[in-house]
Chain A
């Protein structure tokens, strides 16, 4: 046999494409996927027909029109759908900038599946949950050390929930000082996550958004013009989603403190600065981490994640309740917190992710966390050099400067030269077994692309990703139609988008789809 030809770069990829029906179409009348335990005759004889007790208005007339499938058909359907999905386990997942798509260690998932965690009820006697309380307590100590803050609550369900918990604490703090009504403004920056603005609005605040200066740094002069006795807080990310570290961050904090406001640090982008710089050292009053980003817990197709809200001493009384405490012998939940903002979610947090984050820190230690940060930043700076070699790509702002852990690039030049847009290239990337994300809206950076390579990828991974980007950018110049008609090697082809925004056509459920399409086809 002749030697088999080496692998091309980029690789020849095709996504699984099972042409899978919607599950209702797989229904076979009478089939069962799992059975429910029969009630014993002793119970039957004792209680009789309980259904007869229900008043007519509360008795369901016809069973729900769910599909009927044997177990293997349910399994096969969902196994096929899973193959039509790309997680970190499968792709070089550096294209989902701001989301820190790092490796989620399998051992941590496996440990969390123990019935000693999965089957714990949150109201069990404290003597029966000492293990998980100890884990939560110890993780809090780690986060305190990593951020310099005084206390943490691990209760928020994810990052935006932690932002909301923080804005709620800001509101309670000012109210406790009689300044609740006066301080009705929250300031944020356009390169901070949109939830900073949106959560503040829900909490009743007017939102002021600061745009970057010419170099891409948050504009200090604009902040100074915006702060006043009406300022409740500044909610800011650093480094921002551009990967640029705001060197004047202490001045930002000071400007807010000078008018009696609080400084709140969205640490969604903490991966590049673990052990390098800390929230409290820059003067922040509150911060939050996303345990599903920086601390490796899996993203779960969009949750459950886990959020951790940290506070300075002045804000401790307002933390969500309960807190987890240790009296030297046993761990316990403390509920007696009269100034607390109360509950942010049921119980105490996403316990399985608290365990996974704890295990991740324990597997790395202080040196390991620093290695995470340094390699994440090294990978990013390697990647950006390579991206900037691609025709049509640029990195707006702060010319000649390095970046921290991610970059928001621009394809503006490519678009000007070819007419191809970043959102079109994004779809073409899928044909090579990966993807990228443009940016949050509004697109302040024109034709954006946000890449965050984290510590989880090797040089070969980064080179492969670059080869794909180069291929797609090259096609924009040589064969734009192949981009515009993409995807070609995905599960499906381009959607017709109009129905999504047309109330007569949109269908959020199969029943709505059937009703609307049958109506349209005149049946």
Chain B
């Protein structure tokens, strides 16, 4: 009841209009809605009224309330942020937001290829453009995120090779490793490989010592979680293949206009997260995973995800779209399918397609190179700050590890002072990689100007005084 004692008419519920509701009840020959719940035993009927806050019935009140809550946040746009570590502040082109806000896409779900031709075509085009970026013929409709993509890529390798073990680069993030361990544990033993202390590169000696005829996959990231490029990629792939294992590589797709895709150096299954390709950070809500492989039946039939393919129709000149090899999915055959498939992140797939179409070959080549230049500039500026070093002497893409061990202060102390100056410092690695001591992972993207990077160095120098 409203304050004036009238029944509330809810704008989202057409039949909450009292006369409409009464007529509906009459039409179904029911005295009250209770009759529909006759199967629910009294013992488990909820008797009271849920203890929830009083509703904000008008849109005006709701907006005021929510904006009040959001107003307590300070976004990365209002400050200068160098946070990355798997979620990055790249520029999101306006057309990306425009397309993924359209109700036709935003509010659709799982219709068939005839009423949802647009969704099927847009996702086929996403797969196709990712295929060009990756130089691979098979790319899935997105799954949840890069963690899930890595877990599934490893399980696929396990099923393809029939072997029980995965070797992982030791510089993987703790969170991603946690997800992978949880996900693959009944099927694969996860073994971490050591890394070279000076460069961070995967220890080839350790790989040679641990690889065997039990190894299903050798997994590494390029660029690595800690920002450097794995320059031994081809050698690692060769070692994997020489031992009958598959080479699984996780990449940052925004690097691939500049950096060679794994297919060119021996990667068999490639995975990663498309958040950099047109998704806002959304406090971690902008993720979607991809998995890619060659177009070989033994690979394709191990994908759990939807794979949208193109076909002809009854009318010459029309493209039709639909599910390729649907019988492999859990939708078709429940637990007999490959892992499971469900609602994941299709809208972000459509958005990443828009992004790649906007960027084109030239844009992707330029963004890769220019991010690398900006990161290199930042790294050089920070190195000049007394007491500050950069760990790992290799080639960095957009992230690098800043070493504060020589400053006599902890990362937390330094970042607190920088926060007061309006800068979000990079991710504190002291808990995740205790062997590095007081280090932090800094991310630089195309949004950072030279002035921003100069300001970072100057503010850091000030904070260390």
Contacts and interface: CB of A to CB of B under 8 A. Distances in A.
Contacts of B261: 60
Chain B, interface size category, equals: 35 or more
Contacts of B110: 96, 99, 299, 302, 437
A152 B111 CA distance: 31
Contacts of B449: 37, 40
A456 B14 contact: yes
A51 interface: yes
Interface stretch (B144-152, B162-170, B210-218, B402-410): B144-152
Nearest to A69: B357
B344 A303 contact: yes
A111 interface: yes
Given A33-B359, A64-B257, A359-B62, A194 B331 contact: yes
Contacts of A346: 86-87, 145-147, 175-176, 179, 273, 284, 287
B59 to A, nearest CB: 5
Contacts of B76: 119-121, 124
A453 to B, nearest CB: 10
B105 to A, nearest CB: 5
A327 interface: no
Contact of B15 (A96, A121, A370, A455): A455
A197 B346 CA distance: 23
A120 B131 contact: no
A390 interface: no
Contacts of B341: 160, 195, 198
Contacts of A385: 27-28
Interface stretch (A2-10, A413-421, A495-503): A495-503
Given A50-B373, A506-B324, A511-B137, A494 B314 contact: yes
Given A35-B363, A298-B106, A129 B179 contact: no
B118 interface: yes
A159 B147 contact: no
Contacts of B300: 503, 506, 508
A362 B357 contact: no
Contact of A500 (B147, B297, B314, B325): B325
B75 A119 contact: yes
B44 A249 contact: yes
A482 interface: no
Contact of B363 (A36, A457, A511): A36
Given A344-B179, A345-B148, A367 B73 contact: no
A83 B86 CA distance: 34
Interface in B327-347: 327, 330-335, 337, 339-347
B289 to A, nearest CB: 10
A326 interface: no
Interface residues on A, range: 35 or more
A85 B21 contact: no
Interface stretch (B5-13, B190-198, B239-247): B5-13
Nearest to A206: B335
B209 interface: no
Given A23-B125, A121-B81, A493 B315 contact: yes
A342 B314 contact: no
Given A69-B360, A160-B342, A301-B105, A369 B283 contact: no
A64 B356 CA distance: 10
Residue of B103, B258, B350, B449 with most partner-chain A CB within 10 A: B103
A304 B109 CA distance: 11
Interface stretch (A222-230, A371-379, A470-478): A371-379
Contact of B28 (A276, A382, A490): A382
A372 B10 CA distance: 9
Contacts of A32: 360, 362-363
Interface string B111-138: 1111111110111110111111101111
Interface centre among A91, A305, A358 (most CB of B within 10 A): A305
A116 interface: yes
Interface string A29-62: 0011111111110111011001101110111110
A64 B256 contact: yes
B157 to A, nearest CB: 15
A334 interface: no
A300 B265 contact: no
B391 interface: no
Which of B62, B339, B357, B449 neighbours the largest number of chain A CB atoms within 10 Å of its CB?
Answer: B357
A47 B380 contact: yes
Interface in B396-423: 415, 419
Contacts of A91: 115
Contacts, number: 721
Interface string B297-320: 100100000111111111101111
A74 to B, nearest CB: 5
B226 to A, nearest CB: 15
B107 A79 contact: no
B308 A497 contact: no
A370 B372 CA distance: 55
B13 A371 contact: yes
Contacts of B25: 378
A346 B150 CA distance: 12
Of listed A54, A115, A207, A300, residue having the most chain B CB within 10 A: A300
A131 to B, nearest CB: 4
B204 interface: no
B365 interface: yes
A371 B10 contact: yes
Contact of A61 (B10, B53, B74, B260): B260
Contacts of B187: 204
Contact of B185 (A19, A114, A204): A204
A27 B303 CA distance: 30
Interface in A491-520: 491-497, 499-501, 503, 506-513, 515
B31 interface: no
Interface string A66-79: 11110100110111
A54 B395 contact: yes
B370 to A, nearest CB: 5
B374 to A, nearest CB: 6
Interface string A370-398: 11101101111110010000000000000
Contacts of B369: 50-51
A128 B265 contact: no
A459 to B, nearest CB: 6
Given A46-B377, A121-B87, A345-B145, A457 B14 contact: yes
A125 B424 contact: yes
Contacts of B24: 378-379, 382, 459
B361 A363 contact: no
Nearest to B222: A58
A89 interface: yes
Contacts of B270: none
Nearest to B364: A64
B95 A71 contact: yes
Given A120-B281, A363-B57, A300 B347 contact: yes
Contact of A195 (B41, B130, B342, B368): B342
Residue in B57, B108, B453 whose Cβ sees the most chain A Cβ within 10 Å: B108
B342 A105 contact: no
A174 interface: no
A492 B310 contact: no
22 contacts: A33-B359, A42-B450, A53-B395, A58-B260, A85-B108, A87-B106, A90-B104, A101-B109, A113-B97, A118-B281, A121-B283, A122-B87, A128-B419, A200-B335, A201-B335, A204-B185, A362-B53, A363-B59, A435-B115, A458-B14, A459-B27, A490-B117
Given A342-B178, A493-B313, A508-B324, 16 more contacts: A23-B129, A63-B365, A67-B357, A96-B111, A124-B74, A195-B341, A204-B185, A299-B108, A302-B119, A347-B87, A367-B55, A369-B50, A381-B36, A495-B113, A509-B128, A510-B125
